[in-house]
Structure formats: C-alpha cells, structure tokens
Structure 1
Amino acid sequence: MTSENKNMEHEMPKPNPDLKTLSPLIGTWKVSGETHGEITYEWMEGGFFIIQKIELESHGQIIKGIEIIGHEQDFQSEPSKEIKSRYFDNSGNTFSYVYERKGDQLTIWFGEKGSPAYCSAKFSEDGNTLSGAWIYPGGGGYTYTASKIDK
C-alpha cells in the first residue's frame, strides 16, 4: 500500500456543506392549520443527516413518524447531488422526498424533484415561522404555519 493510499484510507469523510442550508429547521416547531401538532428537527451525530420527528393530527388521524434527511450514498459511491429523505410513520407509510432551500424559500418534493406533489414554504425574516402549503395533483393539499418553540 502506498503512502498516498494510506492517507486516503484514514481521511474522515465530511458532510456535504449544502445540508447546512436546512439548519434553520433545527429545533421544535408547533404546527397549526388544517394539520397541527409538533415537529422536531435535530442533527444526527456527525452532521451528515437531520432527523425529523413528527406528531401531528390531520383530519382526525394521529400521525407519528420519523424522517432522515441528507444525501444518499451507496457503498463506495459519491453522495447524491440532491438532499433526499426517507419518511416512516405509524400507518406503515414510507415516502421519499427531495429538499431544496433557496433564500427564505423551502421546497420539498414528494418523490423526485419537479414532482406535481410538493410543499412550498417560506421562512419569516427572523426564521422563527415557516408558512406554506402542500400541493397535490388534482387540487388537493393543505396550508400550515409552523412556529419555532425550541431552538
């Protein structure tokens, strides 16, 4: 093994810096509107992923779930260009999303980027409120407001 290979072997990977664009989400949020409850975002140790925990009520149904947000990376391959996530809930649902933040705008696409099902939300100037709507094909969806209650 050459000394160059040895150095590469011991080099620790670093999180993709674009994941930091989602830092304003970190904390606990009180969600109000047609869907209401609490959502908490926290960094997973190492900084490669954000863990989202949800407890919401929507149309009389209690939804408890987790979502892992970050870059997908298969063994010995490069990380995905997009910030992706996988969501799991108490009804057995498993969904995939793509996250993108530009300025005060947060977009979350259901499945793949550009999907007709997506969330469009905007952070307030102080970053303590996130107002948005989930848009579904055929005219469905809902609006919400989330207020940060714990940073």
Structure 2
Amino acid sequence: MSNDPAMQALARLIGTWTITGGHEGTVTYRWMNDHFIQQDIQLGDEHGIEIIGRERKLMAEPSADIKSRYYGQDGSTLDYTYEIDGDTLTIWAGDRDSPAYYQGTFSPDDRTLNGAWVYPGGGGYVSNAMRVS
C-alpha cells in the first residue's frame, strides 16, 4: 500500500463493488504498486480500465491532486480527479472543481458508497455501490 496519505485514503475502494443506479454492473479496485490503483470496469456492455494516482511527468514533481485516466473499449480516454474528505468521495470529470462530478458517501462500515453524478445544466444520475468482496 502507498505511503501517500491521499492514496491511502483511496484504499477504502479496494475490492469488488456492485454498481446500481444510472449504470449497472461491477467495478474492481486493486493496488497496482505503491503508487497506483487500477479499476476494472464492467458496466452493462461497457468495459474499461482506469489508472488512479498522482500524475508525474518527466523530470517533474508529482501532481498536487490524485488524477486518473480511464480507457474505454470504444477508444475513449477520460481524465478525472479524485478526493476523499472524511467519508465523502468526490470524482471530478477533468480537473478539481469541474461542474461535472460524482459525490458519494461511504457507510460507517465501508460496505456501501451512495451518491450521484452531477452534470452542468441539471443532468446526472444516481450511482450507488455495494462491496461484494
């Protein structure tokens, strides 16, 4: 496990989750190494992977925020920013404070994560997760 406190906070995601709401399926989070978490995604017919960690460009310091890149079966590559503050997980589409984001709350036993994606102009959908392993 990482010695980075922000990455350690994301350890609450490690495991397999059943997703319900606007999209249905499963996601599995696992440590790749001390610096990155990989998420394997199966939502409906869509498959993808996401790599989560601090961005570190050649000869540069690690990014202040935890970033990710999603790679979808349709060729899409989407960027996100992750943060856990207390029991609240926020995932912004793109950079921090983007108007498109997910916000959810972990249950006290970390078995559920209930929240919603919010899109500019009032769109979005409920997205809840239940840990299965």
What band does the TM-score fall into relative to the shorter chain?
Answer: over 0.9
Counterpart of 2:91 in structure 1 is: 108
Counterpart of 2:58 in structure 1 is: 75
Question: Structure 1 length as normaliser, TM-score?
Answer: 0.84
- For 2:47 and 2:15, the matched residues in 1 are separated by 17
Any gaps of 5 or more consecutive residues in structure 2? none
Q: Which moved more, 1:16-25 or 1:78-87?
A: 16-25
* Runs of 4+ off more than 6 Å: none
Any gaps of 5 or more consecutive residues in structure 1? 1-13
Question: Structure 2 length as normaliser, TM-score?
Answer: 0.95
Of structures 1 and 2, the larger Rg is shown by 1
Query: What is the percentage of aligned positions where both structures have the same residue?
Result: 49
- For 1:143 and 1:120, the matched residues in 2 are separated by 10
CA-to-aligned-CA distance 1:75-127 (integer Å, 9 cap, x gap) = 22110010000001011111000000001000000001000000010000100
Structure 1 counterpart SS, 2:24: strand
Match for residue 117 of structure 1 among 97, 100, 106: 100
- For 1:96 and 1:142, the matched residues in 2 are separated by 19
Counterpart of 2:38 in structure 1 is: 51
Counterpart of 1:10 in structure 2 is: none
Task: Tell me which amino acid in the other structure corresponds to 1:28.
Answer: T
Match for residue 21 of structure 1 among 4, 9, 13: 9
- For 1:39 and 1:118, the matched residues in 2 are separated by 18
Task: Tell me which amino acid in the other structure corresponds to 2:10.
Answer: L
For the pair 1:30 / 2:13, whether they are aligned, the reply is: no
- For 1:34 and 1:72, the matched residues in 2 are separated by 29
Number of paired residues? 132
With over 3 angstroms needed to count, the CA separation of the structure-2 counterparts of 1:80 and 1:15, relative to structure 1, is farther
Structure 2 counterpart SS, 1:30: strand
RMSD: 1.1
Structure 1 counterpart SS, 2:117: strand
